[in-house]
Amino acid sequence: DTGVSQDPRHKITKRGQNVTFRCDPISEHNRLYWYRQTLGQGPEFLTYFQNEAQLEKSRLLSDRFSAERPKGSFSTLEIQRTEQGDSAMYLCASSRSNEQFFGPGTRLTVL
Amino acid sequence: AQTVTQSQPEMSVQEAETVTLSCTYDTSESDYYLFWYKQPPSRQMILVIRQEAYKQQNATENRFSVNFQKAAKSFSLKISDSQLGDAAMYFCAYRSLLTEGNSKLTFGKGITLSVRP
């Protein structure tokens, strides 16, 4: 299966620690998106890449968040000095046209 | 900014029956896409159906169809012959066509659909 994959699937960390998530998009998809989904809510847009260029960042993405997509392939999302409010599901999606294909997400729990 | 509203948090349907999930949205744009996504428990989100705003004809995908009312900014999903596998959270989503390239989605809060055997 060549769908979107995300690693890890679950992450538990202590407040103040740094965490990094990885997303591998569908091959040849030039667009990659990160969303955050909290319990009982729909996903909220965080940031968008077209190839290796990060073209848009949501105001939700504080200075503690950084995302990269080196060489326009996989992407990483890093959260520094995690806070309890960062606990959520982090979803990655990729697309080549109108449809976005989502990965299974990384569930982050900050204790 | 666009907003998507799903006012029903939960719905239930008997297996083999028909159910309609509601969605309204707010936008000042005339060209856009609307989507319904399904998110089964602990599984990834998948696209159910898509509607282009410039098309008057309502989209249909097998047992799934939409009622798109552009003037009323309403976009409901009808599931016919409901099956146990339809139980999931359903999200309505909006995509602007004005921002070149960035086709980010704006989601509603979702509705949890349960199917009674």
Residue pLDDT, tens place only, A61-95: 889 999 999 988 999 999 999 999 999 999 999 99
- Tokens 């602990």 found at: B42
Whether residue A56 lies within 8 A of chain B, CB to CB, comes out as: yes
Residue B101: its chain A contacts at CB < 8 A? Answer: 31, 50, 55
Q: Cis check for the bond before B9: say yes or no (omega within 30 of 0).
A: no
Among A40, A99, A103, beta carbon nearest to B44: A103
Do A9 and A105 form a contact (C-beta atoms < 8 A)? yes
Extract the residue ranges of chain B whose pLDDT is less than 50. Answer: none
Residue B97: its chain A contacts at CB < 8 A? Answer: none
Q: Which residue of B has its CA nearest to A56?
A: B102
Q: Determine the Cα–Cα distance for residues B5 and B3; give it in Å rounded to an integer.
A: 7
Helices and strands counted in chain B (H then E): 0, 12
Q: State residue B99's pLDDT score.
A: 66
Structure tokens, B79: 């599931």
Q: State residue B37's pLDDT score.
A: 97
Q: State residue B102's pLDDT score.
A: 66
Give the single-character DSSP code of A42: -
- Average pLDDT of A18-38? 95
Q: Determine the Cα–Cα distance for residues B104 and B102; give it in Å rounded to an integer.
A: 6
Dihedral, CA of residue A62, residue A65, residue A66 and residue A69, to nearest 10: -110
> Exposed (0-12), middle (13-18) or buried (19+): which is B8, by Cβ within 10 Å?
middle
Closest chain B C-alpha to A57 CA, distance in angstroms: 11
Closest chain B C-alpha to A17 CA, distance in angstroms: 26
- Average pLDDT of A17-36? 95
3-state SS class at A70: helix
pLDDT confidence band for A36 (50 / 70 / 90): very high
Q: State residue B47's pLDDT score.
A: 95
- Average pLDDT of A83-109? 94
Reference A87, options A64, A110, A62; nearest CA is A110
Q: Which residue of A has its CA nearest to B90?
A: A42
Q: Which residue of A has its CA nearest to B111?
A: A40
Q: State residue A79's pLDDT score.
A: 97
Structure tokens, A97: 């046209």
Structure tokens, A62: 């504080």
Structure tokens, B41: 């428990």
- Tokens 């005339």 found at: B30
Contact A45 B104 (CB under 8 A): yes
Do A14 and A31 form a contact (C-beta atoms < 8 A)? no
3-state SS class at A85: helix
Closest chain B C-alpha to A107 CA, distance in angstroms: 10
Q: State residue A108's pLDDT score.
A: 98
Contact B47 A99 (CB under 8 A): yes
